[in-house]
Structure 1
Amino acid sequence: MLSRWSKFKQLRHFAAAGMVAMALAGCATVSGPSGRSSATDKQPLGRLVVAVPDEDHDLMAQLLAGEMALSRTDLKTASQAYGRAAQLSPDPKVAEQAAALAIAVRDTPAAEAAIARWQALGARPAPLAQARAQLALSQGNTEEARRQLEILVGTGDPDAWRQFGRVLVGSRDAAQATQLLEAVATPQRLPNDPQAWLAMSELGDKLGRHAYALQIADAAAKRFGTAETYAWLGQMKYHDGDRVGAKALFDKALAKDPKDTHLRLAYATLLGQGGDYTTAAKLLDNGPQDADTYAMRAALAARAKDTKTINRLYSQLQRSPEDVRQSSAYLLGQLAEMLDKKEEALKWYDQVADDDDHAFDADLRSAILLQDLGRSAEAHEQLAQMQTDYLDQPAMLRRAYEVDAELYMDEGQYAQAERSFSRALQVTPDDPALLYGRGLAYAEAGQTDQAVNDFRHLLQLKPDDTDATNALGYTLADANRDLPEAQRLIEQARAARPDDPAIQDSWGWLQYRLGHLDQAEKTLRGAWMAHKDADVGVHLGEVLWKQGRQQDARNVFDEVRKMDPQSVNLHNTLKRLNP
């Protein structure tokens, strides 16, 4: 509720108007011992006696007390202070503030007193009716609220309908608000202003009165025929499933204002949501371009996997005006990444301003690209700097640690990965994704007990987590321990996702541990054909080797080596088998 009254903090200037007047009293002189006037008698101010009011009657003290209470978000104390100030001040704005605060804290006697004082000081009819309507709503008096709202909109005040909407938005009873909206904001009473009609239609839609909202929107489009009224009605038609009607209305809107960027973006958004990427792209291709249109065009091209258009957009955006190019540095980096221009992407990400909404994401992408380019030390250095920069922002700090850990996992540096995951877990304890990641790091490092503990803990938090179920089952099977439990877990994962190659790999590896080589080979080959993953290939190769099919195994190992020359799993397996 405080934010509704934040505008009243501008009232600090009232304190200056309420300076306490000093009463002059007592002009008698005081004679010195010699009968002559003392030295102090020569100073006029020395003969003044200042009448200091008590705090309850000191306007400045009450205003300051009210402002200090507001700064602490102590509305009750602020209301009391402003209530006293209103009775002392001749300024109607102080009484207006007192009324607003009393209504906010639901102090009916104080609100009534403040409103009476405000009226006596010459309150304008519209805001006075607004306050009385708010008070009536807080008391649950719908009839009085309606009467005051009708007075409000009948004043002809330019802000009357905006104030009307504010009253209803602030209502604690949605049903009461909708009843008043439909009773007062009728087509017969609404002014000759399309913005008021649109505002009431949007308010009705927000309050769940879709039929009313559609009625007002349709009437507004017919009465005013502006681009905005056509577009709003088109949006409503679209959400009702009438795409043909929506398209016709948006076409009318564009005919009214073909260069309106916001209108083109709104239309393109609806078309994109319906999967019509081609029409949406054509709509945005024509007309003025800015950072928003380029971003939407890029998003549409990415969804459509249209590399040709992405390439064209990248070239166009690089030649765009400097202000557009600067505000689109992050988008340029993304486009460069899509086109596999990693070095160029790095340069664009480096140009993203510190106050840009995408600054964190740009830094994160830079670290990942540095890793992809073989510059691991720089990647981790970048992430270490981010961990310092975002120390006071937990969500971002957690993500920086997580990406650092993931990069270490890719490098096969599992101890460092575990440390980064653990630091992230200090920021967000019991985070399922982090527990899963750390469990994998422990498992890869051969610390089976710690891995099992993390996976078990994760399953306590999320008992139906299929990935954690599979990971725990695989870890037990890989360690060749608790195989009956491993079988139960992997069967549970298979039932949830029967076609998942990772789960099939776990099942095949379990069969290998159980000595079922033929079943293991069949399962692992199926997983390998479905998804050429290096670890699956290593498992399949080992099974083939144990079956005595060494050449077939070498062929699979060769494929794995081409896919991942640095595979730690392949290296360890070949060392163990010594082919």
Structure 2
Amino acid sequence: MVVATPDTDHDLLAQLLAGELALSSADLKAASQAYDKAMMISNDPEVASKAVALAVAIHDPDAAQRGIDRWQKLGATPAQLAQARAQLAVEQGKTEEARQQLSLLITSGDKDAWRMFGRVLIGSRDPALAGNLLESLATPDHLPADPKAWLAMSELGEQLNRHVYAQQIADGALKRFGTAETYAWAAQLKLNNGDRSGGLNLLRQAQVKDPNNIGLRLTYASLLGQSGQYAQATQLLEKGPQNAQTYALRAALAANAKDDKTLQRVYAQLSQAPDDVRNTSAYLLGQLAEVLGRKEDALKWYDQVPDDDDHAFDSDLRSAILLQDLGRSAEAHQQLAEMQTDYLDQPAQLRRAYEVDADLYLREKRYTEAIDSFTHALQVAPDDPDLLYGRGLAYAEIGKIDPAVSDFRRLLELKPGDIDASNALGFTLADADRDLPEAEQLIAAARAAKPNDPSIADSWGWLQYRLGHLDQAVAVLRSAWQTGKDADVGVHLGEVLWKQGHRNQAQQVFDEVRNMDPQNATLQQTLKRLGT
């Protein structure tokens, strides 16, 4: 027995597969050609419908017309045919033909007629033509007794830059229907046009009409918050149903207002919220617990953030930092090591995991480990300014001046004139008692940019000491010490006073530093060097 097999052009399945494969590769032309063949051998009107859409998408009017004719034979509805013919006319710039077909569409009685009308216009390559058709056909006399249709046409007008039309239709919908949605859209248009007070007034009326509409409350409260009306926004959100978004906005408003009592109330309520809300808000609960000083609770909440949550990475980072704060440094670094493995294929997250690891080592004064972590991060993000700066500081702390200077110089190549880098390089050179003219130039530039910065004043005072200008050094360092009571500034001031012979004053400063930071390494090294 011989089984007849059709050639490819007459094999429906082959053409459909070819069309879908072309679509998956974003090859619209090939997909259109395949569906053009498929519709001629298929009795399915959906195949013809797709052939028409693809032909219009690639701007092939002949193929589109063939598709429309075939679709009509296969039983397309009058509304579908009118929509397709209108799309083709709009594509060809045939205004009157488009107007005629769109008129047939909106009078067809199809329940989706106005949605189909909008699709034709929003897909037009000629916004001016689409706008003219919209204004001439989607008039208050023609629009149905459905507020959604009015709002859709008003929004379409706004998208097509027909702002006057959009406002007229919005006002008409507001007057005719008076629903919360019509108030909200009219408010949005006023806000778009810069009328903040008018928009807020309409939103207030919308919220009164539908007080349990969470979306409206969020929009209204957000705008109140942007205007600095935190108390009014908070009061609005506290009433009515709550979800994860209302709790999040309430927390943000309280944080902006520095209102700790409200933060505590939000935290307490959210902690007792239904499981779905609480689970969705685990990261927010962790943040709130941190702000309120409940570090152990924060760790527990961060641990509950799901792996597929947008905040999963950030929650792990915050957990590592909290672990160190709680004296559990080994666990902190272990968590970061696991993250460095988990995010090997995500450079931005991997870089951040290494950077936080390095920062924690810096806080622990474990400078060699910090250098290793910064170096790993720089392998992921070469020449990253923040990483170069951090590694340069770590090198300087253990007396590796050449690599520290190299990192700071590279940073200044990347960011010429950077204030922090200029100060860091200048101080490192001054502290090493080398290239003092260059150090003076760098620190002077930083000081001119930030004349009241204590760390820069410290660098300038220490430079003056290296230059032998002891009186100037004392004056600058004393001022910086009195301003900020920074331990390292105090150590520098004490050393200069000691060198001037004012040993009692120097000892007083050293004692102050010891009381502030008993384990200060700079103080211990200085006292050993001075023999006291």
Cross-structure match for 2:8: 55
* Partners of 2:427 and 2:137 in 1: CA distance: 66
* Partners of 1:274 and 1:564 in 2: CA distance: 44
How high is the TM-score relative to the length of structure 1?
A: 0.83
Q: 1:571 aligns with which of 514, 524, 529?
A: 524
In 2 relative to 1, CA 553–89 (structure 1 residues): closer, same or farther, beyond 3 Å? farther
Are positions 1:330 and 2:283 aligned together? yes
* Partners of 1:68 and 1:530 in 2: CA distance: 70
Size of the aligned set, in residue pairs, is 532
Q: 2:223 aligns with which of 240, 257, 270?
A: 270
In 2 relative to 1, CA 119–359 (structure 1 residues): closer, same or farther, beyond 3 Å? same
Cross-structure match for 1:422: 375
In 2 relative to 1, CA 185–410 (structure 1 residues): closer, same or farther, beyond 3 Å? farther
Cross-structure match for 2:493: 540
* Partners of 1:329 and 1:307 in 2: CA distance: 19
* Partners of 2:90 and 2:9 in 1: CA distance: 31
Cross-structure match for 2:208: 255
* Partners of 2:179 and 2:449 in 1: CA distance: 53
| Uncovered stretches (5+) of structure 2, i.e. residues with no partner | none
Cross-structure match for 2:399: 446
Cross-structure match for 1:198: 151
* Cα deviation, residue 566, structure 1: 4.1
Cross-structure match for 1:110: 63
SS for the counterpart of 1:50 is: coil
Render the CA deviation track for 1:259-313: whole Å, top value 9, x for unaligned.
Answer: 1122111111111111111111111111122222111111111111111111222
| Uncovered stretches (5+) of structure 1, i.e. residues with no partner | 1-47
* Cα deviation, residue 240, structure 1: 4.5
Q: How does 1:352-371 map to 2 (within 5 A)?
A: 352-371=305-324
Cross-structure match for 1:72: 25
Cross-structure match for 1:462: 415
Are positions 1:503 and 2:463 aligned together? no
How high is the TM-score relative to the length of structure 2?
A: 0.90
Give the AA of the match of 1:400.
A
* Cα deviation, residue 211, structure 1: 4.3
* Partners of 1:78 and 1:423 in 2: CA distance: 47
Cross-structure match for 1:300: 253
* Partners of 1:206 and 1:475 in 2: CA distance: 57
Are positions 1:431 and 2:384 aligned together? yes
Q: 1:395 aligns with which of 309, 326, 348?
A: 348
Give the AA of the match of 1:414.
Y
Cross-structure match for 1:81: 34
Are positions 1:471 and 2:424 aligned together? yes
Give the AA of the match of 1:279.
Q
Q: How does 1:176-325 map to 2 (within 5 A)?
A: 178=131, 180-238=133-191, 240-325=193-278
Question: Contact between 1:412 and 1:568, CA under 8 Å: does it hold in 2?
Answer: no
- Identity rate, percent: 69
In 2 relative to 1, CA 133–387 (structure 1 residues): closer, same or farther, beyond 3 Å? farther
The 10-residue stretch of structure 1 (339-348 or 437-446) with the greater mean CA deviation from structure 2: 437-446
Cross-structure match for 1:516: 469
Cross-structure match for 1:481: 434
Q: 1:160 aligns with which of 105, 110, 113?
A: 113
In 2 relative to 1, CA 230–435 (structure 1 residues): closer, same or farther, beyond 3 Å? same
Cross-structure match for 2:293: 340
Please report the RMSD computed on the Cα atoms of aligned residues, expressed in angstroms.
2.8
The 10-residue stretch of structure 1 (204-213 or 266-275) with the greater mean CA deviation from structure 2: 204-213
In 2 relative to 1, CA 552–72 (structure 1 residues): closer, same or farther, beyond 3 Å? farther
The 10-residue stretch of structure 1 (495-504 or 94-103) with the greater mean CA deviation from structure 2: 495-504
* Partners of 2:512 and 2:161 in 1: CA distance: 59
Question: Contact between 1:69 and 1:78, CA under 8 Å: does it hold in 2?
Answer: yes
* Partners of 1:142 and 1:531 in 2: CA distance: 74
* Partners of 2:527 and 2:425 in 1: CA distance: 25
Cross-structure match for 1:28: none
* Partners of 2:129 and 2:477 in 1: CA distance: 64
The 10-residue stretch of structure 1 (508-517 or 398-407) with the greater mean CA deviation from structure 2: 508-517
In 2 relative to 1, CA 417–231 (structure 1 residues): closer, same or farther, beyond 3 Å? same
* Cα deviation, residue 381, structure 1: 0.5
Question: Contact between 1:517 and 1:543, CA under 8 Å: does it hold in 2?
Answer: yes
Q: Displaced runs of 4+ in structure 1, greater than 6 A?
A: none
* Partners of 2:346 and 2:240 in 1: CA distance: 40
Question: Contact between 2:131 and 2:160, CA under 8 Å: does it hold in 1?
Answer: yes
The 10-residue stretch of structure 1 (158-167 or 397-406) with the greater mean CA deviation from structure 2: 158-167
* Cα deviation, residue 366, structure 1: 0.5
* Partners of 1:97 and 1:86 in 2: CA distance: 9
Give the AA of the match of 2:397.
E
Give the AA of the match of 1:444.
E
* Partners of 1:553 and 1:207 in 2: CA distance: 74
